[in-house]
Amino acid sequence: MARARGRRASERSGGAAGRARLTPYLMVLPSGLWLAVFFLVPMLLMVSLSLQTGNLIDGFRQTLHWRNYTDGLDVYGDKFVRSLWYGLLATLACIVLSYPAAYWIAFRGGRHKPTYLFLLLLPYFVSFILRTVSWKLVLTDNGPILGPLRDHGVLPDGFHVLDTGVAVVSGLAYNFLPFMVLPIYVALERIDPRVVEAAYDLYASRVQVFRRVVLPLSLPGVFAGVIMTFVPVSADYVNAEVLGGPRNTMIGNVIQSEYFDNSAYPTASALSFTLMAILLVGIFAYARTLGTQDVLEAARR
């Protein structure tokens, strides 16, 4: 009898252990299925489409036409370079604008931190298109900024910002600013105030405290913010369409045009995967240079 009870107890414990091992996989299953249906399957279909030839009237057929990729790089190589360059400039602008704001909210916001964050995010409850068009109204030659400056002789008559790279980068930085602010704020919020106080107790100056304590501990937020900002900024096409001109076309504009205007689905798919590959290489190079391990080690110091 005792042996039977022991066997039943062992079976129950084994069953509980098996359920415990399956629990993480069961929790991941819904999101995994969601990603498989709405991300993995479309990606595989696009891979197949990028290697096809044909047209919308006669139909497309699979021919493993790899020249869709090489031709895309040859024809639109300058658009890829411009997109990466604009993305880099906009990301740097977001860092310069976001870090002071996140620092002030984290260390000076007090009990009003949620209010300040809400006010910072409030413009982004408006449609992306409307925000970009409003930015165009601000930067127009007779707008509220350039108009008075031109009337008072500060700017020459031929000076303009719209249809330039400056306008596109400004719009990109404005529209994607929260992608940089929030990760930096979270990293700064996690800093133990006692660590900062200890640095002051050791007679460190404000600059030394920031350089030796605050900045290293906030690097994980900067690291995450750069990745979250650079990828969507480089693939954006709305800002270049609204704020830029023919000389400011980004690769996103080309993909949009090839897909919706020219119905060149294989070319658009190949350009999309080429852009994704370039961004992945850039992200891995960035992670290799800065290094997630180095970031975490810096945060522990």
CB atoms within 10 A of CB 58: 8
* pLDDT of 269: 93
- pLDDT tens for 246-278 read 889 999 999 999 999 988 999 999 999 999 999
In the prediction, which pLDDT does 13 show? 55
Q: Residue 65: exposed, middle, or buried by beta-carbon count in 10 A (0-12, 13-18, 19+)?
A: middle
Taking a C-beta distance cutoff of 8 angstroms, is the pair 219, 299 a contact? Answer: yes
Q: Does domain 76-299 have CATH number 1.10.940.10?
A: no
What CA–CA distance (Å, rounded) separates 146 from 128? 23
Return the pLDDT at 285: 83
For residue 69, how far is the Cα from the chain centroid?
24
Mind listing the pLDDT tens digit of every residue in the chain (301 residues)? 555 555 555 555 555 566 677 887 888 888 888 988 888 888 999 999 999 998 888 888 999 889 999 998 999 999 999 999 999 999 999 999 999 999 999 988 888 999 999 998 898 888 899 999 998 888 888 888 888 888 777 778 778 888 899 999 999 999 999 999 999 999 999 888 888 888 888 888 888 888 888 988 898 899 899 999 999 999 999 999 999 888 899 999 999 999 999 889 999 999 999 999 999 888 888 777 765 555 445 445 5
- The domain ranges of the chain are 27-52+59-64, 76-299
Tell me, yes or no, if the pTM score tops 0.95: no
Q: How far apart are CA 117 and CA 111, in angstroms?
A: 12
Q: pLDDT, tens digit, for every residue of 116-164?
A: 999 988 988 888 999 999 988 888 888 888 888 887 777 787 788 888 9
Alpha helices in 36-164 (DSSP H): 41-50, 67-108, 113-121, 128-139, 146-151
